[in-house]
């Protein structure tokens, strides 16, 4: 007898993933009396200026490396009292490289962090005011900075600025193509356009969905998928193929 199936919409998929994995609490930031970035499931209170900067710096440091490596570098910067725009901008390059060494590619990343800090420290009203500006112009401005590509720009906008910018990463591309939302060769912008056309425009929703896709990719939807127990298996053509 054929298995009853459904086709997942992005909204239905996010709901099913939330039911399975729970709120993810992205982006991790250092709490007021903490010493390391921590996830905050279900908490949506306003970030402090220091926490916003942590997100921006963390988004640069996690490029091409696991978050655990970037997180150690963020902690070093916080411990050393260096997580301030003026200090990052003026810090000698070799010192910054030492502090962020755990994140890998530390020479290139030090240049990126300094470029970001030098640019952002000139903004009146700090990060909060700057990241509240017109979204498309802000995105272009971020993309013009050294070392900031689309994923990093949208991570900064979404998680530091609280703006409705859906972050598309390799996991999102993989999951969406397996669920038939877009083709396997789709670009960042094509995938993003599809997702925002199907979801209500909400920073909280975008943040939770993106984080849930990452969790799904880690637990099940790997390069070689482990579909047994995947909450999206019914309705996933790729997954059904794995039933053998």
Shortest distance, position 235 Cβ to ligand SF4, whole Å: 8
> What is the smallest separation between the CB atom of 190 and ligand SF4, expressed in angstroms?
19
Nearer to ligand SF4, 138 or 179 (CB): 179
* Spatial CA neighbour of 17 closest among 243, 235, 237: 235
Strand, helix or coil at 187?
Answer: coil
User: With respect to ligand SF4, which residue has the nearer C-beta, 83 or 175?
Assistant: 175
Q: Show the DSSP H helices in the chain as ranges.
A: 10-21, 49-61, 67-79, 85-90, 93-99, 106-120, 126-130, 135-143, 150-155, 170-178, 188-198, 203-219, 237-241
Interface ranges with ligand SF4 (CB under 6 A):
175, 178, 220-221, 225, 227, 230, 232-233, 236, 238-239
Is the Cβ of residue 107 or residue 218 nearer to ligand SF4 in the bound state? 218
As measured in angstroms, the least distance from the Cβ of 150 to ligand SF4 is 23
Q: In the bound complex, which residue of the shown chain has the CB atom lying closest to ligand SF4?
A: 239
**Count of Cβ atoms closer than 10 Å to residue 182 Cβ:** 18
135 Cα distance to chain centroid: 17
Closest approach of ligand SF4 to the CB of residue 18, in Å: 15
């Amino acid at each position: 007898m054929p298995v009853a199936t459904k086709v997942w919409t992005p909204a239905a998929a996010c709901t099913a993933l939330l039911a399975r994995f729970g709120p993810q609490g992205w982006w991790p930031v250092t709490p007021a009396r903490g010493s390391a970035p921590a996830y905050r499931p279900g908490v949506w209170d306003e970030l402090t200026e220091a926490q916003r900067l942590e997100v921006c710096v963390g988004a640069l440091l996690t490029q091409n490396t696991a978050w655990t490596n970037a997180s150690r570098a963020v902690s070093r910067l916080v411990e050393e009292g260096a997580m301030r725009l003026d200090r990052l901008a003026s810090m000698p390059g070799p010192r910054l490289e030492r502090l962020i060494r755990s994140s890998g590619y530390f020479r290139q990343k030090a240049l990126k962090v300094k470029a970001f800090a030098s640019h952002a420290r000139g903004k009146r009203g700090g990060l909060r005011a700057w990241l509240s500006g017109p979204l498309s112009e802000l995105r272009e401005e971020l993309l013009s900075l050294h070392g900031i590509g689309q994923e990093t720009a949208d991570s900064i906008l979404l998680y530091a600025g609280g703006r409705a910018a859906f972050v598309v990463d390799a996991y999102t591309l993989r999951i969406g193509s397996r669920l038939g939302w877009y083709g396997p060769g789709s670009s960042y912008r094509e995938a993003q356009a599809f997702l925002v056309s199907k979801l209500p425009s909400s920073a909280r929703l975008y943040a939770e969905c993106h984080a849930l896709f990452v969790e799904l990719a880690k637990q099940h939807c790997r390069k070689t998928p482990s579909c047994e127990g995947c909450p999206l298996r019914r309705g996933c053509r790729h997954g059904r193929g794995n039933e053998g």
